[in-house]
């Protein structure tokens, strides 16, 4: 199945058949299209002058038509556990971040759901080289319009959408940073932005990732994290047939509380979101991940745990509890250890597989959005 995509906005994001169509118009043979695609997607070369087996005039034309690296790395920080955070700048000087997380590290296990679950699921294909594998977390927007009350990325609102080429270029950069036997075992859309609020670009990136002649990654190794945009959630299910893994931010046990913590709930209330999740085609993927950030003294009571377990009853889910990582601009204290343990115990007693994910990598400010948003003031807006 191939998703119905919007037209490409740059050469970088063209799919193989789109290169062939373009080159037919330029009077170039079809095999040249395959050559260029391989340079970009297999070798990660985006400068036409470095594509040495192309004729000079074609290299010149590609440069004139705008084929060039869309991102520059402006900061590269490695945490003590091997987590590597890249701050990247686009041609208009806007900045986002992408993070490489070593598989099996505390950060990978606890912050991002790894492609092959640590909870005994057998719903994923085996990882052929687990010792040197990395998950990569990528951004999909500059800022975010969702305005979640505890989140650094939502502080300044949405600055602009990223193009598919800019989103995908993070993956190429990540691969280039991994040398030798190290490689990407999974991609998670959990960086800056709400991926489903930029669905046309994200859908194109998913196609680029899974294209066999290019990156060639199974979509079962890709996780899209969303705050719950229901129409786009349904579109994702329709376009990709449930192959993409899903993580959904819930963060509250009832709809009124969720509207306060996540303004998007005013447009897509919790009951409607849960109904949409019941329709999401999960069989090949096992379970949907429910993300629940525990805000000290706010949504972390035993009553919240009981209500949440009732909301999720019967859904094919596992729950990640994330004790909030306080950001200076948002005043939510971390929950106590006793609260976290009690919340987890209640969910587990109600039959929900529940894990506590602790934000690590604090020595490189690995909470989403912290580097790129230094100095921003909060601005809340919903779509």
Burial (Cβ within 10 Å: 0-12, 13-18, ≥19) of residue 358? middle
| Cα 69 versus chain centre, distance | 21
In eight-state DSSP terms, residue 4 is: -
Which lies closer to ligand SF4 via its Cβ, residue 173 or residue 264?
264
Which lies closer to ligand SF4 via its Cβ, residue 110 or residue 194?
194
Closest approach, Cβ 70 to ligand SF4, in A, equals 21
Tokens 């070369």, located at residue: 45
For residue 246, give both structure tokens.
């899903």
- Contact predicate 44/215, CB 8 Å: no
Which lies closer to ligand SF4 via its Cβ, residue 104 or residue 269?
269
From 137, 144, 151, 368, the catalytic residue: 368
From 13, 20, 97, 291, the catalytic residue: 97
Nearest partner of 68 among 137, 136, 13, judged by Cα: 13
**Contact footprint for ligand SF4 (CB under 6 A):** 144, 146-148, 151, 153-154, 193-194, 227, 249
Tell me the DSSP string of 132-182: GEEEEE---EEE-SS--TT-STTTT-EEEEPPHHHHHHHHHHHHHH--TT-
382 vs 4, 159, 240, 273, 291, CA distance in Å?
27, 13, 27, 16, 20
Q: Is 368 a catalytic residue?
A: yes
Which lies closer to ligand SF4 via its Cβ, residue 35 or residue 98?
98
Active site residues: 97, 368
């Amino acid at each position: 199945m191939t998703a119905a995509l919007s037209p490409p906005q740059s050469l970088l994001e063209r799919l193989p058949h789109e290169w062939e169509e373009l080159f037919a118009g330029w009077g170039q043979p079809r095999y040249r299209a395959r050559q260029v695609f391989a340079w970009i997607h297999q070798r990660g070369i985006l400068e036409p002058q470095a594509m040495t087996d192309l004729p000079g005039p074609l290299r010149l034309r590609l440069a004139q038509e705008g084929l060039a690296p869309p991102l520059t790395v402006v900061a590269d920080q490695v945490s003590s556990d091997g987590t590597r955070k890249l701050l990247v700048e686009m041609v208009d000087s806007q900045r986002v971040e992408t993070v490489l997380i070593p598989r099996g590290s505390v950060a990978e296990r606890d912050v991002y759901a790894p492609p092959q679950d640590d909870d005994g699921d057998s719903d994923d294909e085996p990882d052929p080289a687990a010792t040197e594998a990395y998950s990569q977390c990528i951004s999909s927007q500059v800022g975010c319009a969702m305005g979640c009350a505890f989140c650094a990325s939502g502080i300044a609102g949405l600055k602009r959408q990223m193009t598919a080429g800019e989103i995908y270029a993070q993956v190429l950069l990540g691969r280039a940073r991994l040398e030798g036997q190290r490689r990407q075992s999974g991609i998670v859309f959990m960086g800056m932005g709400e991926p489903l609020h930029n669905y046309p670009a994200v859908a194109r990136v998913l196609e680029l990732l899974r294209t066999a002649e290019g990156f060639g990654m199974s979509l079962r190794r890709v996780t899209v994290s969303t705050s719950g945009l229901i129409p786009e959630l349904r579109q994702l299910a329709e376009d990709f047939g449930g192959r993409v893994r899903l993580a959904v931010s819930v963060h509250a046990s009832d709809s009124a509380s969720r509207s306060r913590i996540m303004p998007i709930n005013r447009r897509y209330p919790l009951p409607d979101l849960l109904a949409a999740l019941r329709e999401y085609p999960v069989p090949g993927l096992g379970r949907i991940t429910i993300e629940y950030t525990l805000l000290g003294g706010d949504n972390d009571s035993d009553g919240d745990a009981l209500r949440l377990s009732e909301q999720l009853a019967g859904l094919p889910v596992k729950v990640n509890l994330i004790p909030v990582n306080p950001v200076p601009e948002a005043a939510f204290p971390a929950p106590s250890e006793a609260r976290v343990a009690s919340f987890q115990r209640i969910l587990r007693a109600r039959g929900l597989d529940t894990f506590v994910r602790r934000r690590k990598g604090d020595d490189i400010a690995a909470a989403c959005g912290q580097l790129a948003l230094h100095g921003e003031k909060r601005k809340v807006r919903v779509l």
